[in-house]
């Protein structure tokens, strides 16, 4: 299997229904779902004191809802006429709120557009300085606890609830925002051929350090190589990457 992924290798896909052609993975997906449910349930129980503490901190600094609920793009696996497809679906993704109430998404939308287009000048202008980091780090919308929550990825812990509900997996491409998907090239849609995850190959390999096309290629590599052993390897490496805070902002 080739690891080097190029746009020439891909067909143009319907953005609503994406043919995955992977008939031999039924047992893998069944085992993956069972493991996802078990891990998410155990982590929610064990981490409940931490979740409560984070909620209190957010409320103290910025009274209001402690959760940020945003529409994201995911995928569900469908079997139609003995063929397997991935259907693009939207779902409500849960995070701890790291921004002021009713923060305007316009800044982030502009940055995502510049990131996908690899527009260095526009990204630098939106960051207020040139930077090699591929993430909006100088975000005036953040509240004080938001910086540390994002740096340690603690803001994503509520997504364990999405995993429990079956909308996400522990491992997979990060769930995209609808206005991001609208800007995708046809080959970018290949990253939607898997259920979105809390962590993934992208997160342990190039956290905020690669351009958008490189990140998508890592997601597509995961889609092509995914297996239970590969998922376990990613999950084991994730805490090491998170606590190193390398590439985290």
The pLDDT score that the predictor gives to residue 222 is: 95
Helix-then-strand count for the chain, H and E: 10, 5
- pLDDT tens digits, residue range 199-221? 999 989 877 678 899 999 999 99
Q: For residue 96, what pLDDT band results from cuts at 50, 70 and 90?
A: very high
Burial label, 97 (beta-carbon count in 10 A; 0-12, 13-18, 19+)? buried
Please give the C-alpha separations between residue 25 and each of 49, 89, 170, 190, 236, in angstroms, as whole numbers: 37, 21, 17, 17, 22
The pLDDT score that the predictor gives to residue 130 is: 67
- pLDDT tens digits, residue range 144-197? 999 899 989 999 999 999 999 999 999 999 999 999 999 999 999 999 999 999
- Do 105 and 87 form a contact (C-beta atoms < 8 A)? no
Helix, strand, coil shares of the chain, percent, nearest 5, are 50, 15, 35
Q: What predicted TM-score, i.e. pTM, was given to this entire model? A: 0.86
3-state SS class at 86: strand
- Do 180 and 117 form a contact (C-beta atoms < 8 A)? no
Element (H, E) at 58: helix 48-61
As a whole number of angstroms, the distance between CA 219 and CA 238 comes to 15
Identify the weakest region by mean pLDDT among 63-72, 80-89, 160-169: 80-89
- Ordered by start, the domain boundaries in the chain are 16-103+141-242
Q: For residue 22, what pLDDT band results from cuts at 50, 70 and 90?
A: low
> What value does the mean pLDDT take over residues 113-122?
87
**Looking at the predicted structure, is the pLDDT value of residue 6 above 50?**
no
> What value does the mean pLDDT take over residues 77-83?
78
- The answer for 102, left when phi > 0, alpha when psi is -120 to 50, beta otherwise, is left
Q: What percent of the chain has pLDDT over 90?
A: 59
As a whole number of angstroms, the distance between CA 89 and CA 170 comes to 18
> What value does the mean pLDDT take over residues 33-50?
97
């Amino acid at each position: 299997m080739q690891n080097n992924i190029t746009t020439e290798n891909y067909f143009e896909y319907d953005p609503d229904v994406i043919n995955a052609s992977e008939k031999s993975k039924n047992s893998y997906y069944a085992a993956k779902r069972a493991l996802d449910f078990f891990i998410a349930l155990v982590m929610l129980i064990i981490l409940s004191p931490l979740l409560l503490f984070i909620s209190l901190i957010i409320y103290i600094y910025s009274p209001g809802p402690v959760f940020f609920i945003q529409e994201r793009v995911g995928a569900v696996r469908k079997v139609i006429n003995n063929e397997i497809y991935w259907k693009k679906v939207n779902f409500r993704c849960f995070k701890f709120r790291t921004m002021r109430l009713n923060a305007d998404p316009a800044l982030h939308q502009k940055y995502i557009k510049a990131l996908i287009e690899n527009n260095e000048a526009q990204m630098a202008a939106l960051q207020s300085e040139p930077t090699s980091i591929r993430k909006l780090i100088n975000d005036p919308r953040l509240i004080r606890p938001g910086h540390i929550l994002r740096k340690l990825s603690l803001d994503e812990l509520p997504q364990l609830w999405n995993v429990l509900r079956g909308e996400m997996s522990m491992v997979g491409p990060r769930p995209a925002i609808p206005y991001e998907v609208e800007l995708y090239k046809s080959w970018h849609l290949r990253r939607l051929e898997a259920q979105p995850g809390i962590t993934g190959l992208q997160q342990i390999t190039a956290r905020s350090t690669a351009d958008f096309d490189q990140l998508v290629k890592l997601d597509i590599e995961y889609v092509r190589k995914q297996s239970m052993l590969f998922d376990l390897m990613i999950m084991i490496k994730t805490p090491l990457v998170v606590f190193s805070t390398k590439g985290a902002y």
